[in-house]
Amino acid sequence: MLRIFLSALAFASACWIAVACAADDATDSAAPYHVGETVRVVHPAVARDWRGAKTEALVTRIWYPVAAASPEQPREIGAPGAPLFRGHGIAANAPLSDARTKYPLLLLSHGTGGSANSLDWLASALAAHGYIVAGVNHPGNNASEPLTREGFMLWWERATDLSEVLDGLLVDPTLGAHIDRDRIGAVGFSLGGYTVLELAGARTRQQRFLDFCASPAADAICKPPEMARVKDKAPTLATLSPQTLASMARSGDSYRDPRVKAVFAIAPALGEAFDATSFADVSIPLMLVAGTQDSVAPVDTNIHRIASLMPDAKVNMVPGAAHYTFLDDCLPGVVDQLAGLCKDPPGVDREAVHAQTIDWALGFFASTLPAKPL
């Protein structure tokens, strides 16, 4: 199996960059809060596999509700001096709103080669409706530092990232006491969609995916362009680290986190890494969302395959939307430069797709993580 894994590695690195909790009325378009933002660097208490990442810590961006009187400052997202996306205004490090004593928490997982900030459009909207949202930059597979092959290979480790961020936040001296431990959910995009399915209890069948990508049926999910940014050499049997071998051996384990009560997966990837038994232990509510014109995580082998294995999952398809329609809005000056990420199919309004997805997320979490009386 290991030799097959290595020979198929070019295909195996799949997937891409890529509420109304406190508000009782999920459909109320007037968000009751402004959005605060801060960063935590989580250092897990136990030894772990960092997938060759330069930063051996879980850098986590947190969006949270603040009082409407706290002014939001406009911001753009990207490298200093070279922004790419339009971000939501934020009240950086403002105090958490005191309108409630506790708020629900949503863990956020980005797609391959991306970052938590690439989903600012969604995270900020959820925070404005009363959620604390925590998005980790997954080690070895994020836009903030060099990508590693292990970051692409060891998909299942991402669920552990989120669980360890949750461990850290629950004891955080500022936020911990204000997290409602009975109202924790997870949101993910693309490979992040796969990640949050694992948190729900899905089990990966790595060999099934490798076989698919080595077959004539292989499609775009097998060839992520972000791999071109990886500088280290392709591993061989002799060069795989003991940590990588150990991780591969547990690829099919359960990464269910029982603290997570509901999952919202956008354009979920790696559908071919699941089989008829993969979702046997999934019992929490799930919603799956994708665009009908997704050519990066093709719908037949990803969202529709996943849905066929989970008949109780709620599925919403966005007509005409593509994979990267679910990333932040690009700034006008970079649309042509990043056409693959920024240009949507004809007739698709990215802001309207975002608004619809936010509405679905608000309604889903309002029903699955219901607000408690004040």
Nearest to 167 by CA among 263, 43, 264, 254: 43
pLDDT tens per residue across span 124-139: 999 999 999 999 999 9
* Pair of tokens at residue 262: 């509901």
Contacts of 77 by beta carbon, 8 Å cutoff, 6+ apart: 83, 84, 85, 86, 87, 117, 118, 120, 328
pLDDT of residue 363: 98
* Pair of tokens at residue 114: 């991306």
Nearest to 191 by CA among 342, 60, 326, 75: 326
Q: Is residue 374 part of a domain?
A: no
264: which strand partners? 187, 287
Report the distance separating Cα 98 and Cα 308, nearest Å: 43
In the predicted structure, residue 27 carries a pLDDT above the cut 50 = no
The count of domains in the chain is 1
pLDDT higher at 128 or 241: 128
Contacts of 277 by beta carbon, 8 Å cutoff, 6+ apart: 203
* Cα dihedral value 207, 114, 49, 243, nearest 10: 40
Contacts of 338 by beta carbon, 8 Å cutoff, 6+ apart: 84, 330
Structural domain span for residue 216: 2-368
In the predicted structure, residue 95 carries a pLDDT above the cut 70 = yes
Report the distance separating Cα 10 and Cα 102, nearest Å: 46
- The CA–CA distances, whole Å, from 191 to 16, 245, 273, 338 equal 6, 21, 12, 20
Q: Stretch 230-251: mean pLDDT, rounded? A: 79
**Are β-strands 82-92 and 73-79 bridged in parallel, bridged antiparallel, or unpaired?**
antiparallel
- State if pTM tops 0.95: no
Q: Is residue 31 part of a domain?
A: yes
In the predicted structure, residue 24 carries a pLDDT above the cut 80 = no
Report the distance separating Cα 364 and Cα 78, nearest Å: 30
> How many Å separate Cα 324 from the centre of its chain?
13
pLDDT tens per residue across span 152-176: 889 999 999 999 999 999 999 999 9
Report the distance separating Cα 300 and Cα 327, nearest Å: 21
Q: Is 103 exposed, middle or buried (0-12, 13-18, 19+ CB in 10 A)?
A: buried
Q: Stretch 56-60: mean pLDDT, rounded? A: 97
Q: Is residue 373 part of a domain?
A: no
In the predicted structure, residue 120 carries a pLDDT above the cut 60 = yes
Q: Is residue 247 part of a domain?
A: yes
Tallying the residues shown for the chain, one arrives at 374
pLDDT higher at 188 or 7: 188
Under the banding of pLDDT at 50, 70 and 90, the label for residue 233 is low
CA angle 300, 345, 307 (to 5 degrees): 20
> Which domain CATH number covers 122?
3.40.50.1820
Report the distance separating Cα 366 and Cα 371, nearest Å: 7
pLDDT of residue 230: 74
